[in-house]
């Protein structure tokens, strides 16, 4: 007799995701599909030195059970890392999570009762949609343009739906690539205060800027607005800037929320790998991060430029997009110009036949998908591959 699974599983639909992943296995394919950093940029020697330090000087800490809140030397390093970016957060005000994905899971577990509403960007991170739906959230989609979420539309939705919280990726969003402007950031914060709405700021890409640094995070800006700081839950990650394989992320939030998240984490995985945490702490302590980031920014900036130039030159008015100023992604739309397809799923299939993969945009929407949208990552292919891949896209159009 088949098992009867939990009712919460009925809330998620993963076939779209599985289809995406199947696309990636074909040999010889040029992939713009992933959300991965380029492994060629991993500082393997730096990480080797860090783990050597950790095992030589704190083997007990690195190998034994640890505090659910996180390994204290790592919390100190992350506090300093955030401080260097204008966010004043003490080590005790952040907890370490098993990747920032777990921060989302803990927010869901801690905050969402079945039927609660949560507002997300349309489009937003795919795994956020499914994560919150597993806790029974009803997701509302707020419109996004090249400058991030539309604060007036967001306020209207907040007033109408009274959500448990609003989830935003303000800096180089996935998949939107959008950068929320300073003016809009201030409007979002004012809205949060006015409606007493918790804002989750997910920030895995904020360090990957190509020109000048982005505006301060919502968390940093909230310090200037009395009462606002407690309304921001901020999620950080080392996955895009050091190594996803460590699974080291973190979250800062008001004390009551953080305490409940720690309680939930205790029964989710007890604590994040202290082996990975001690390694990350030693890496940050050794001071290599600024150089690693500078290198990453330069490489990704070059690739983003190559992709933007190629798309304009080869696909012309058949696609529209905004050149990203950081992150890993182009977000584009098929315009239908010249009678060409506006169906991104169809375009993705034809592209596979031509030997290039990307992700159609529909699954990134919690509601009202734009079927002409699609996401291209420029992170893992070098400039030559990017140019070759865009030639293939042209053939697929």
The window from 108-116, 300-308, 338-346, 351-359 that contacts a copy of itself (CB under 8 A) reads: 108-116
**Positive or negative: CA dihedral 215, 83, 210, 355:** negative
Binding mask 13-52 for a copy of itself (x = CB under 8 A): -x---------------------xx-x--x-x--xx--xx
Q: Per CB under 8 A, which of residues 221..240 are in contact with a copy of itself?
A: 239
How far lies 318's CA from each of 17, 33, 303, 309, 315, in Å?
A: 26, 20, 21, 14, 6
* Spatial CA neighbour of 357 closest among 344, 338, 369: 344
Residue 138 in the binding site for a copy of itself (CB under 8 A): no
Measure the CA–CA gap between 248 and 216, rounded to whole angstroms.
22
* Spatial CA neighbour of 101 closest among 274, 269, 326, 281: 269
Q: Per CB under 8 A, which of residues 175..204 are in contact with a copy of itself?
A: 196, 198
Residue 110 in the binding site for a copy of itself (CB under 8 A): yes
Residue 89 in the binding site for a copy of itself (CB under 8 A): no
CB 289, min distance to a copy of itself, A: 15
Tokens encoding 2: 């088949």
Measure the CA–CA gap between 237 and 33, rounded to whole angstroms.
21
Measure the CA–CA gap between 191 and 152, rounded to whole angstroms.
9
Residue 84 in the binding site for a copy of itself (CB under 8 A): no
* Spatial CA neighbour of 281 closest among 245, 240, 238, 239: 238
CB 77, min distance to a copy of itself, A: 17
Q: Per CB under 8 A, which of residues 267..306 are in contact with a copy of itself?
A: 267-276, 278-279
235, 95 contact by CB (below 8 A): no
CB 97, min distance to a copy of itself, A: 8
Nearer CB in complex with a copy of itself: 59/83: 59
CB 162, min distance to a copy of itself, A: 11
User: How does DSSP classify residue 211?
Assistant: S
Q: Under DSSP, is residue 98 helix (H, G, I), strand (E, B) or coil?
A: strand
Q: Which of 31, 53, 77, 101 binds a copy of itself (CB under 8 A)?
A: 101
Residue 340 in the binding site for a copy of itself (CB under 8 A): no
How far lies 278's CA from each of 37, 69, 391, in Å?
A: 22, 14, 45
Size of the site for a copy of itself (CB under 8 A): 75
Binding mask 140-169 for a copy of itself (x = CB under 8 A): ------------------------x-----
Residue 252 in the binding site for a copy of itself (CB under 8 A): no
Strand order in the sheet with 373-377: 319-321, 329-334, 373-377, 359-360
Q: Under DSSP, is residue 166 helix (H, G, I), strand (E, B) or coil?
A: strand
Q: Which of 69, 76, 93, 116 binds a copy of itself (CB under 8 A)?
A: 116
Residue 53 in the binding site for a copy of itself (CB under 8 A): no
The window from 91-99, 141-149, 206-214, 308-316 that contacts a copy of itself (CB under 8 A) reads: 91-99
CB 166, min distance to a copy of itself, A: 13
């Amino acid at each position: 007799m088949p098992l009867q699974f939990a009712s919460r599983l009925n809330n998620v639909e993963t076939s779209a995701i599985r289809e995406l992943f199947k696309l990636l296995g074909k040999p010889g394919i040029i992939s713009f599909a992933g959300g991965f950093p380029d492994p060629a940029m991993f500082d393997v020697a730096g990480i080797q030195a860090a783990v050597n330090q950790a095992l030589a000087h704190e083997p007990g800490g690195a190998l034994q059970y640890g505090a659910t809140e996180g390994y204290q030397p790592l919390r100190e390093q992350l506090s300093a890392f955030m401080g260097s970016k204008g966010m004043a957060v003490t080590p005790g005000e952040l907890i370490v999570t098993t990747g920032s994905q777990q921060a989302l899971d803990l927010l869901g577990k801690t905050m969402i009762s079945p039927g609660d509403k949560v507002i997300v960007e349309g489009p937003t991170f795919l795994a956020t949609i499914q994560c919150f739906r597993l806790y029974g959230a009803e997701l509302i989609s707020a419109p996004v343009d090249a400058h991030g979420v539309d604060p007036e539309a967001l306020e209207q939705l907040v007033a109408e739906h009274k959500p448990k919280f609003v989830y935003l990726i303000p800096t180089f969003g996935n998949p939107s690539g959008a950068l929320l402007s300073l003016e809009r950031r201030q409007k979002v914060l004012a809205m949060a205060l006015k409606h007493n709405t918790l804002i989750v700021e997910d920030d895995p890409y904020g360090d990957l800027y190509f020109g000048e640094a982005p505006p301060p995070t919502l968390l940093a800006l909230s310090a200037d607005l009395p009462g606002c700081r407690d309304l921001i839950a901020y999620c950080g990650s080392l996955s895009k800037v050091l190594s996803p394989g460590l699974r080291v992320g973190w979250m800062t939030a008001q004390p009551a929320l953080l305490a409940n998240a720690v309680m939930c984490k205790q029964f989710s995985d007890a604590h994040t790998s202290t082996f990975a945490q001690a390694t990350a702490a030693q890496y940050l302590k050794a001071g290599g991060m600024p150089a690693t980031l500078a290198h990453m920014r330069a490489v990704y900036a070059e690739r983003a430029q190559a992709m933007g130039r190629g798309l304009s030159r080869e696909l012309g008015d058949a696609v529209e997009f905004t050149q990203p100023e950081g992150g890993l992604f182009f977000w584009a739309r098929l315009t239908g110009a010249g009678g060409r397809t506006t169906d991104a799923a169809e375009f993705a299939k034809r592209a596979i036949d031509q030997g290039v993969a990307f992700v159609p945009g529909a699954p990134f929407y919690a509601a009202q998908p734009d079927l002409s949208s699609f996401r291209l990552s420029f992170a893992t292919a070098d400039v030559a591959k990017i140019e070759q891949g865009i030639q293939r896209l042209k053939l697929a159009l």
